[in-house]
Amino acid sequence: MDTCNKISKFMQKSGHECRVMGVPKTIDNDLYGTDHCPGYASAAKYVATSTMEIYHDARVYDTPMVCVLEVMGRNAGWLTASTALAAYKGAGPDLIYLPEIEFDMDKFIVNCKKIFEKSGKLIVAVSEGIRDKNGKYISEYGSDLASEKDSFGHAQLGGTAQVLADILKKELKCKTRAIEFSLLQRCAAHLASATDVEEAFTAGQKAVQCAVDGTTDHMVAYERSEKDGKYVCNYVLVNLDKVANTEKAVPREWINKEGTGLTQDYINYALPLIEGESKPPMENGLPRFAKLKKVLAKK
Amino acid sequence: MDTCNKISKFMQKSGHECRVMGVPKTIDNDLYGTDHCPGYASAAKYVATSTMEIYHDARVYDTPMVCVLEVMGRNAGWLTASTALAAYKGAGPDLIYLPEIEFDMDKFIVNCKKIFEKSGKLIVAVSEGIRDKNGKYISEYGSDLASEKDSFGHAQLGGTAQVLADILKKELKCKTRAIEFSLLQRCAAHLASATDVEEAFTAGQKAVQCAVDGTTDHMVAYERSEKDGKYVCNYVLVNLDKVANTEKAVPREWINKEGTGLTQDYINYALPLIEGESKPPMENGLPRFAKLKKVLAKK
């Protein structure tokens, strides 16, 4: 949105007529001025569904099971929060840590021990960007652990989830597993939310209509309302100056007091967004993707 | 199947009447005596679909992109082979390495360089269990790299994909990414193959029918045939003695000469198995799982 704004201002300054409309898009869901962002709900649906499946996988065997799930999000925990939807359905993480809250390693270990000792199972979801009170990324703790070796004589290092899984392995004295949703959480089109897909199309359409009608320097934003008790999405315009370079975090009051889970407010916010399956076209049991062809103009 | 066999032999020896029927189940697809195993096709469908999605994600940006995908399979490469279905659809790995073929690091690097220098993009799929000519797991190469440090001063180590991604980072002088399908590939019920689900139900049914009818010491196996040019699955019985402790690898002739991909024989084998979507019941945009209740018997 900052780039949209800069392009528009540059064109005006240099005397070119050019209308610039921003269409939001980010699975991070951290754009200011819009209730939510196109792409977020589909990624959230994927993360929540995969978390539920991992939860059930963990309960197939009658053995201890500790899993740390790593979800994208450097500064905003919206996508990690979506694992709370799995918990709401009774098949989610025991603990959820967002970058909005300072991460306290000692408290984390105490919380994990308590749950693990009770049930022999533990699932934790973390944002890749969680930091301690000094602003140090937990993923950077890996270097402090470099002296730890596994049975192969390997130093055990990696991303945020791997660092925490290694610490829990030592503290809980059991096998632990780190799972990164990695690129999959942002590209799993096969599990897109029908609501998200429809809203995204409409947002693009509105932007083109506005530009054609003479509007410029605005972003198409989503505004949430209700009709007969049901979720409705309205499309409004927000000035690009307002949107550029402002990040929207998960509100503190939507995170529980201990900073280890989400409140019902988040569940109510997210549930209508992930509604419906988009059912992409299939061919031979696999998704069929649209292909844009390069067409050379005739001379 | 070995356990089925042992239980049955023990019961016979100790004079208890007990009929034991084996129902196969493994995403590894490495059971002897059956064309394929329940569970394999669903995991293959997930792996192939996710690979296609990662392929498209890699092409969104006009920057170099190197991805190493790690798929389950210690001794048999069936599941890694399923990434060839994505390649068959024009959106898969450039190179595929199975544990059936000795892994040669020098040739691997030459192959990768050739592809990367041409297109700036490279996707490689590997089985977790690939080994070199001395039988050393590639994942063990990590310890040799312990002296390599990243920008945080971390030693870069991990599983098979991480080891190869670290080597390629150095050789190709670009950012690389390791992606493990981890538990997701064996529990992603939301993307199950309808063909697989139907066959699995039928296999279980046949086993119960056989046991009731007096049969014992057999496994229900799948036999592939054709009707009007279309794939048909028949259910036959195989003696447990024959199945126990025999592993079925991917046939050498289904792997290309260089050991870096699969032939059309594998595609023809796998395509009918992943056909159809099982569409599990949904609730609030998330899958609804069956719950078995403990019912206490009345005294």
Same domain, A93 and A64: yes
CA distance B291 to A297: 60
* Distant-in-sequence, close-in-space partners of B264: CB < 8 Å, separation ≥ 6: none
Instruction: Note the residue count of chain B.
Output: 299
Same domain, A93 and A159: yes
* Chain A positions in Cβ-Cβ contact with residue B159 (cut-off 8 Å): none
Q: Which two tokens stand for residue A86?
A: 């799995």
CB contact under 8 A, B289 and A52: yes
CB contact under 8 A, B193 and A140: no
Q: What is the pLDDT of residues A82-127, one digit of tens each?
A: 999 999 999 999 999 999 999 999 999 999 999 999 999 999 999 9
Query: In this predicted structure, what is the pLDDT of residue B127?
Result: 97
- Residue A151 confidence class, pLDDT cut points 50, 70, 90: very low
Q: What is the pLDDT of residues A195-210, one digit of tens each?
A: 999 999 999 999 999 9
Of A186, A191, A275, the CB nearest to B57: A186
Residue B152: closest C-alpha in chain A: A140
Determine the residue among B66, B154, B231 to mutate to test chain A binding: the one whose Cβ has the most chain A Cβ atoms within 10 Å.
B154
| Least Cα separation, residue A90 to chain B (angstroms) | 10
Residue B144: closest C-alpha in chain A: A154
How is B160-222 classified by DSSP, letter by letter? HHHHHHHHHHHHHTS-EEEEE-TTHHHH-GGG-BHHHHHHHHHHHHHHHHHHHTT--SEEEEE
Q: What is the pLDDT of residues A256-290, one digit of tens each?
A: 999 999 999 999 999 999 999 998 899 999 999 98
ipTM of the complex: 0.93
Whether B219 is covered by a domain: the verdict is no
Whether A15 is covered by a domain: the verdict is yes
Whether B212 is covered by a domain: the verdict is no
- Residue A298 confidence class, pLDDT cut points 50, 70, 90: low
Query: In this predicted structure, what is the pLDDT of residue B292?
Result: 79
Whether B84 is covered by a domain: the verdict is yes
CATH of the domain at A28: 3.40.50.450
Same domain, A14 and A139: no
| Least Cα separation, residue A57 to chain B (angstroms) | 6
Give this prediction's pTM: 0.93
Whether A163 is covered by a domain: the verdict is yes
Q: Which two tokens stand for residue A144?
A: 């402090």
* Final residue before a domain boundary, out of A212, A232, A253: A253
Same domain, A181 and A51: yes
Same domain, A137 and A244: no
Query: In this predicted structure, what is the pLDDT of residue A61?
Result: 84
Same domain, A119 and A26: no
Query: In this predicted structure, what is the pLDDT of residue A62?
Result: 86
Query: In this predicted structure, what is the pLDDT of residue B145?
Result: 57
| Least Cα separation, residue A214 to chain B (angstroms) | 30
* Chain A positions in Cβ-Cβ contact with residue B191 (cut-off 8 Å): 190-191
Q: What is the pLDDT of residues A50-70, one digit of tens each?
A: 999 999 999 888 899 999 999
Same domain, A66 and A156: yes
Of B50, B271, B287, the CB nearest to A184: B50
CATH of the domain at B136: 3.40.50.460
**Mean pLDDT, rounded, for A1-10:** 92
Same domain, A233 and A127: no
CB contact under 8 A, B190 and A274: no
Whether B269 is covered by a domain: the verdict is no
Query: In this predicted structure, what is the pLDDT of residue A143?
Result: 58
Structural domain of residue A53, as residue ranges? 47-187
* Final residue before a domain boundary, out of A132, A161, A187: A187
Same domain, A151 and A212: no
Same domain, A194 and A74: no
Query: In this predicted structure, what is the pLDDT of residue B247?
Result: 87
Q: Which residue has the tokens 């306290």?
A: A104
* Final residue before a domain boundary, out of A187, A214, A234: A187
| Least Cα separation, residue B202 to chain A (angstroms) | 20
Whether A264 is covered by a domain: the verdict is no
Assess contact for B126 and B77: CB atoms under 8 A.
no
Assess contact for B98 and B138: CB atoms under 8 A.
no
- DSSP three-state, residue B158: coil
Over 60: is that where the pLDDT of A148 sits?
Answer: no
Walking along chain B (299 residues) 10 residues at a time, the average pLDDT comes out as: 92 93 95 96 98 94 94 96 98 98 98 96 97 93 57 56 94 94 96 97 97 96 96 96 88 98 98 94 94 72
Its sign, for the CA torsion A40, B85, B78, B232, is positive
Same domain, A78 and A156: yes
Looking at the structure of chain B, the number of domains it has is 1
- Residue A30 confidence class, pLDDT cut points 50, 70, 90: very high
Whether A170 is covered by a domain: the verdict is yes
Taking one residue from A and the other from B, the number of pairs with CB-CB distance under 8 angstroms is 138
Query: In this predicted structure, what is the pLDDT of residue A155?
Result: 45
Same domain, A200 and A226: yes
Of A54, A187, A193, the CB nearest to B187: A54
How is A25-60 classified by DSSP, letter by letter? --TT--BTTSSS-TTHHHHHHHHHHHHHHHHHHHTT
**Mean pLDDT, rounded, for A155-165:** 77
- DSSP three-state, residue A269: helix
